Amino acid sequence: MNITKHALERMVERGFTPEMLAVLMNGKTSVVPTRDEKFLVIGKADGKFWTLVFTKDLYLLVSVRRSHNDEEALWNSK
């Protein structure tokens, strides 16, 4: 996985640590395609839901943010 400068900046701003990234990626996740050929990876780390935005090949991490309610519902439905 390659992390863009933008994603790294978002991680730092939001308090999302590399350790939290490892927990999220090794736990239960939901992968959802978007209309603009990206994928959302939704998971839980440190007791909170997070959404990671990846490029279409799931190699490049573009951004990180707290999940929206509908994204949490997708995660809970799996």
Residue 71, pLDDT score: 94
Residue 44, pLDDT score: 96
From the list 36, 33, 30, the residue with the least C-alpha distance to 50 is 30
24 phi and psi angles, rounded to 5 deg: -60, -45
pLDDT in tens, 22-69: 999 999 999 999 999 999 999 999 999 999 999 999 899 999 999 999
Q: Is the model's pLDDT at 77 over the cut of 90?
A: no
pLDDT band (50, 70, 90) for residue 2: confident
Q: Are 43 and 36 in contact (CB under 8 A)?
A: no
